[in-house]
Structure 1
């Protein structure tokens, strides 16, 4: 059986295009938890998402600042929690998670207890060459419906 929430992208451009299309369905308060090894495409994915949200300018990893905010159709809160150890509670993440924008959290599993129970986990992994595998794991009815809608309209490499 084919997993309906797994896609394979042949290039960086396809990865970003998928993320751009996903952005069209996002609403205030949506939380995307990004997982994947170094170089798997988490920031590349976020760049496509930002484009889909109408963010102008360069979007890069907030590795040393932890959170970057971008203005678009919805605010984009891009977080990289790789270097956050036990301080997640002191970062005020709930203000972002339950705010009026979209939160994207790279290395989200490192702050699992601080994440909202309902969210969309996106796991990226390397394939051959520039290929990337993308798996969506919806947690909660909102994200199940989101994945179903995306599945109807996104046809990349599958």
Structure 2
């Protein structure tokens, strides 16, 4: 595998997004971090909700925009969900126990992680989401680190017809 894998995928609707997320969910393990970046309304929270369902989370998964972080323990893996949109300064991450959570016992999804690029972990999967104007979503997945490379490679293998290698 290369040092940095990058793939694109298009989902026509929420059903396809759910299928894509359900292919990622069983590949996740404690300590994995997925950074979700994209404009407002791009579908970041919808993607996390679909992963949560696939992990068996029975709680109502909502956007943590105002609470900054929500943790769900009812699934097969603890799911931490951050939304950094309302934070103004990287120092606020320390007050939240951000690093302890990322390094803890669950998988972490971080919306708006691009706000604080210097605070990104060394190893994470970046997922850039955008509405494509046809009611669907375009995804660009970029692996940043060894574990993220393995995770993305396995995800692409689980859905080879959905993904296209960036640059091909």
* TM-score (normalised: structure 2): 0.87
The residue number in structure 2 matching 1:30 is: 32
Q: How many residues align?
A: 156
The residue number in structure 1 matching 2:130 is: 125
Q: Could you list the per-position Cα deviations for residues 84-139 of structure 1 after superposition, in whole angstroms to 9, with x for gaps in the alignment?
A: 11112222111111001011000011122222111000000111322110111101
Distance in 2 (CA, whole Å) between partners of 1:149 and 1:27 is 13
Alignment of 1:73-84 (within 5 A): 73-84=76-87
Whether 1:43 aligns to 2:49 is: no
Contact 1:120 1:137 in 2 (8 A): yes
Aligned residue for 2:51, secondary structure, equals helix
2:111 pairs, out of 98, 106, 114, with: 106
Alignment of 1:1-158 (within 5 A): 5-71=7-73, 72-86=75-89, 87-154=92-159, 155-156=161-162
* TM-score (normalised: structure 1): 0.93
Distance in 1 (CA, whole Å) between partners of 2:137 and 2:34 is 18
RMSD: 1.6
Deviation for aligned residue 1:4: 6.0
- Structure 1 residues 127, 157: CA separation in 2 closer, same or farther (over 3 Å shift)? farther
- Structure 1 residues 89, 4: CA separation in 2 closer, same or farther (over 3 Å shift)? closer
Structure 1 ranges of 4+ moved more than 4 A = none
Deviation for aligned residue 1:157: 7.9
- Structure 1 residues 89, 112: CA separation in 2 closer, same or farther (over 3 Å shift)? farther
